[in-house]
Structure 1
Amino acid sequence: MENPGFEMQEEGHPNMVSKIPPKNNYPYPYLFEQKKTSCSLMKIFLVCFLACLITTAIGVLILSLVYVGQVGPKPGQDMMDSAVEEKPSQNKADSRFSFLNHLGTSKVFKFEGGAIQWARFRNNPKDYSTEAEMRFGTSINKHESKMTLGTLRIVSQGLRVPHWHFNANEHGFLLQGKAWIGVVDEGGSTVTTYNVTAGQVIFFPKNTLHWVKSVGDEDCLFILFFTTHDELRTLDVDDAFFGTPEDIASRSLKPEGGVQFIRTFEKQLEDQAVNLPANLNELIKNANYEQSANSSVWKYFYDLKGSREFIFPGGIIQWARYRKNGVGLNENEKIYSESLNQNADTLTLGTLRIFSNGLRQPHFHFNAHEMGYVISGCGQIGIVGDEPVSEFTVGVGDVFFFPIGTQHYIKSACVEDLLMILAFSTGNQLQTLDMDDYFHATSDHILAQLFLKKQPEFKKIPVFTEDQAVNIP
């Protein structure tokens, strides 16, 4: 209770409680005599007092109900709104979902040959599974991130059927398994096929027909990035075929039997996006998983796990990116680098390994948004941007997003290393500035004036000969 007087009287003050001794021993017998003569009046008083209490209680209850009716949620008002008003801190906590998506727990879209999960924007709010997913999707769209992320699982012998994307390039990182890739160039004159294993990168330019076939004994698991912050638009070959009039398809393909042959095709009831027919062994007798020449393959492929390691005190970075004039790249890597740069709105990919207790220090990117997926380990992420965001935890299967120019850091918080695949929304050289670099680049007298700290104090910040981008205590 807020009223200390009421608290004291509620159960009586300790000093006000007394025990009345027996009448015969009591030194003032007239008090008991007086009590007998006034007994009836006391009863009347008690009855009246009790009636007053009951009347008062009823009155208070009625007033309370009227008050609640006036200040409570209006008919049709969202109860979530009133909850947020009562707990404004809840709004602040939810702000992390502008930058965090628990992809591992999101809706699974199942197909015959595999499954897909999405961290994406959707035009229809009803297509989101949770409020948190909607906040993330809205955020990447509002910031024009030019990125959508999805995981694609293809079971052994399953096929992501030939398709193309109207509004996005596709970059993929194979986390597990072995796949055979096909890419059809403009005009169909060149078909590039190649094999890819765990740790390697695939690339498909916008509107380029491609397929992915799982050819190992275990499932393939891809982390896919698409260069759009709008809803991804895709067309599968079977849908394109069945959407074409029979006579037009017949005149185009000119099969034996003409239109009658075209009519033997049956559209399946289930979506065939990731396909694995039950009678696959009857349908296919021979399958060759050929590898095209390197000059073609490396336009769509990069051996990330075999690339140069950039080693820091607290971790390791490897890059699949464009380098001006091919600096630091071998001949095959130069092909990939130029392929990225020649196509508009491509991505830079990289793996970042942060050793246990290591830190990717606060930094920001001049020319790219960043999106990442946690492969192993766990970490803490902090963001300093245009809205307050509390530090949040990420673990395996989580997706995070840093808008361009937003300062951010990542700490490894587990015994095992924190390993992530990162994508940056630029096909040019990534431009980044770390906190220690901009402190050292700023004159100490400017820092002294800014932080109201004596100029010599800033000499205590050391300059290291080794890059501290990823450091460790």
Structure 2
Amino acid sequence: MFVNYKLLKVLLMLNVSVIQPGIEQTFSHVDERDKRRKVKKLEEKRQWSLLSVFLACLLACTVTTAVGVLILSLVYINNTQLHSEPELRATTIAILQKAVDPKFQFLNHLPKSKVFEFPGGAIQWARYRNNIKDYLSIEEEAFGRSLNSQRSQMTLGTLRIKSNGLRAPHWHFNANEHGYLVQGTAWIGVVDDGHVVTTYNVTAGQVIFFPKNTLHWIKNVGNEDCFFLLFFSTHDELQTLDVDDAFFSTPEDIASRSLKPEGGINFIRTFHKQKEDQGVNLPHNLAELVTNASYTQSPDNLVWRYFYDLKGSKEYRFPGGIIQLAQYWKNGSELSKNEKIFSTFLNQHQNTLALSTLKIYNNGLRQPHFHFNANEMGYVISGCAKVGIINTQGTTEFDIHIGDVVFFPIGTQHYIKSACDEDLLFILAFSTGDQLQTLDMDDYLQATADHILAQLFFKKQKLFRVTM
């Protein structure tokens, strides 16, 4: 077989010329895909780069804001601490006044407050609370904060003790206690600094006094409930410790070494704390526990330091009613022997209170007056009245009924008008251990020269000579 090499060479050249464009076209497609892939990768990298920058900026802004808020908070706290207490109190009162009726600076509807129930009785409070959540209403809070901001040196509680019930032995760290027995018969115990236990009976209308940090207890020895009004000489949260709480908070070995009971620490371990608070105690098996109770009476010179017969004291009459006072008297010449003991002992302690009963006859008026040296707090025992308070903000007037509590800051002129068919009876406390100093409207107007009054009221001078 003969091969024509020339023809073969021509054919090969023709094939190459035909195949070459196809090969070049194929490689060109490959290059385009590679380019698109590279462009896509570059775009993705660019997008991730922008996102990273954005996230980094967001994180930086967040950290900067947090640091700024922290710095501002620290500056605010420091500036707040630099402010004086009166300024802070004034701000607080201003906010409260906007939120509630201004009368609740001076009025507390105690029957609406929380009742603290115990096996042997119950307690209610008109007082300042450290924790705002302890108030049941903004009105109650306004009253509590008013007592505190005005540095009233006053807290009020009602104590009801069932027959045979016991207000557990206790003491108060930050307040003297003054009580008025509205109803019932009670036996009182006091352990004074001379380690002398003083016991005595109290009946309705009489007053008790326990100095700060003095251990004391109250036992109902009658058949009806005892009902006490208790005033404490503090505008802060009252701090009280009951003996059972103190006992169970003491380590067993410490209690054993201190008390030295027969049986030692094993005897101490036989005591178990009750699940419920024993503030007012009345065990269900009391008859098994106590078979021969003794209620002895201590000598008068001890008893009458803590006890005062207010209902039997001198009556001070005014046109609308009667006032009686359990207080320190600078001139005790008109006091009985026992009243002198109380008056002297009261004045020996700091931040004590003066107690008073105020009876206003039907439609009677306790005219506008104010006290130089004391805040005043009162509880309505019976009747109803209209109360007016005159201060730099103007006149605030409101109605009061049984169980209501009122507060009059020092120097605030106020009046009380009986508005019921029955007499109004108030139990009042004043934040002074000295003799109460009071000035009535008729006294200060009559003591002012008639020509001064004429000039002040644009009336002829002779008019004041006749009428005042």
8 Å contact from structure 1 (residues 380, 393) kept in 2: yes
Is 1:123 paired with 2:134?
no
Letter in 1 for 2:435: Q
8 Å contact from structure 1 (residues 96, 389) kept in 2: no
User: Which piece of structure 1 moves more, 93-102 or 222-231?
Assistant: 93-102
Q: 2:335 aligns with which of 329, 336, 346?
A: 329
Q: CA deviation at 1:93?
A: 7.0
Q: CA deviation at 1:447?
A: 1.3
Letter in 1 for 2:437: Q
Partner deviation per Cα, 1:274-297 (whole Å, 9 max, x = no partner): 000011011001101111111000
Letter in 2 for 1:314: G
User: What's the counterpart of residue 256 of structure 2?
Assistant: 250
Q: 1:398 aligns with which of 382, 395, 404?
A: 404
Distance (Å, rounded) in 2 between the aligned partners of 1:389 and 1:137:
21
List alignment gaps of at least 5 residues for structure 1.
1-87, 463-473
Distance (Å, rounded) in 1 between the aligned partners of 2:352 and 2:368:
25
8 Å contact from structure 2 (residues 171, 240) kept in 1: yes
Is 1:172 paired with 2:179?
yes
User: What's the counterpart of residue 153 of structure 1?
Assistant: 160
Q: 1:141 aligns with which of 142, 148, 153?
A: 148
Is 1:100 paired with 2:107?
yes
Aligned residue runs from structure 1 range 433-448, under 5 A:
433-448=439-454
Q: 2:118 aligns with which of 111, 116, 122?
A: 111
8 Å contact from structure 1 (residues 200, 301) kept in 2: yes
Distance (Å, rounded) in 2 between the aligned partners of 1:239 and 1:455:
69
8 Å contact from structure 2 (residues 100, 139) kept in 1: no
Distance (Å, rounded) in 2 between the aligned partners of 1:312 and 1:153:
32
Partner deviation per Cα, 1:185-243 (whole Å, 9 max, x = no partner): 1152x110000000000000000000000110000000000000000000000111111
Superposition CA RMSD, Å: 1.4
Is 1:386 paired with 2:388?
no
User: What's the counterpart of residue 239 of structure 1?
Assistant: 245
More helix by share: 2
User: What's the counterpart of residue 319 of structure 2?
Assistant: 313
Distance (Å, rounded) in 2 between the aligned partners of 1:413 and 1:352:
15
User: What's the counterpart of residue 361 of structure 2?
Assistant: 355
8 Å contact from structure 2 (residues 182, 228) kept in 1: yes
User: What's the counterpart of residue 418 of structure 1?
Assistant: 424
8 Å contact from structure 2 (residues 352, 433) kept in 1: yes
User: What's the counterpart of residue 273 of structure 1?
Assistant: 279
Is 1:299 paired with 2:305?
yes
8 Å contact from structure 1 (residues 93, 390) kept in 2: no
Letter in 2 for 1:125: I
8 Å contact from structure 2 (residues 390, 396) kept in 1: no
8 Å contact from structure 1 (residues 373, 398) kept in 2: yes
User: What's the counterpart of residue 82 of structure 1?
Assistant: none
8 Å contact from structure 1 (residues 346, 426) kept in 2: yes
8 Å contact from structure 1 (residues 344, 427) kept in 2: yes
Distance (Å, rounded) in 2 between the aligned partners of 1:380 and 1:392:
6
Q: CA deviation at 1:91?
A: 4.6
User: What's the counterpart of residue 464 of structure 2?
Assistant: 458
Q: CA deviation at 1:92?
A: 9.3
Letter in 2 for 1:109: F
Distance (Å, rounded) in 2 between the aligned partners of 1:134 and 1:304:
32
Is 1:262 paired with 2:304?
no
List alignment gaps of at least 5 residues for structure 2.
1-94
Q: Greater CA radius of gyration, 1 or 2?
A: 2
User: What's the counterpart of residue 186 of structure 1?
Assistant: 193
Q: 2:291 aligns with which of 282, 285, 289?
A: 285
Q: CA deviation at 1:455?
A: 1.6
